[in-house]
Structure 1
Amino acid sequence: MTPLPPLGAPVDVPSGRPARPPEHVDAVVVGGGIGGLVAARTLVHRGLQVVLLEASDRVGGPVRGGAFGSLPVRLDLGAESFAARGTAVTDLAEELGLDVVSPAPLSAWGYAAGRAFPLPKAGVLGIPSVPWAPDVRRAIGWPGVARAALDRVLPRFVADTTDLGTLVRSRLGRRVADRLVAP
């Protein structure tokens, strides 16, 4: 496996080797996630000279393999981030000869407090729509349900909007944030 050049150094994408900086650049794409890769591909297909800048040591953004905690296997991290609307990502994967494997239509599972549990079905970004639903209770326990249910009576000003995790923690409590939203 060829080591990656230093961050910010130009790379010849097909070979992965360091490349000479182009004399002329038509477009700069910032970010090598799926969106950035699709944007760069589109611009190259239109005949433009493109430079793609990626801060990390690999492209793919959240859609990539990696390790998760102490589990002894590599997993797809962020696989739910695969853009399913439209065909741009699928077209790119086919063009690059990548196999896209659709997940089995089974429920996702979480792990906390020494036990595994099915993740709740109803919600957005891990935020449960009904805190006292049976699948939510299995995930966050009765103390978590009681804290999450307080969201309906908390004044509006009780909300730290620094980021999504902090907002959920301030409104619904630590168990919802840590067990349902963070994963």
Structure 2
Amino acid sequence: MIAFTRQLLPAALLCSALSAQASEVLMGDFWVVHYQGGLGKNQVFLADGDPKNIFNRPGGAQSLGVYQLYEEPGKPNFTTYDVEIDCAKNRVRIMGAADFRSVFNKLLNVKYSSQWQSKPDAWLAQSRDFVCKPAERQAKKMERLGVMPASQISKAGPHLFGILNREAAKTAIMQKIDEGFAQMSAK
């Protein structure tokens, strides 16, 4: 996990547009809030933590943009979610979702439940904690990628997946080494 953290900054720099951006380009402060999957099937969830992009909703809730990037072939490039978070009541729900596939070059609406989640998926719980408990981001292994145009997030995926796959391979190798030492000491 430590190597993953060390490699996020170069990945973010590779993904960032270094030239000046036009004022109408949506900029965000992107964070990895959750990742899951395995070799060749990783998914990374990025939240936009820019205060200008977190909106107040009626009843004290807030709206946050979360992007799910997919490594697996046949999946969309990413899915974008409008996540509503109510910190006071410790709850979360999805208010909108759309897939982006570069083949169509447009967002296509997907099904979702707009009900408050009694047992939210890990990425939803992490998204809630991202907004409600910002002081705990580092402890919850949330990593800042940095400020970049929203259009650059799909380019971040391959870099992040490469990092996750290297870490998974290292973990598998270390497990085999540990098993080998365990067998040697048992004899």
Bigger radius of gyration among the two:
1
TM-score normalised by the chain length of structure 2: 0.23
Q: Which has the higher contact order (CA 8 A, sep 6+)?
A: 2
TM-score normalised by the chain length of structure 1: 0.23
Question: Higher strand fraction: Structure 1 or Structure 2?
Answer: 2
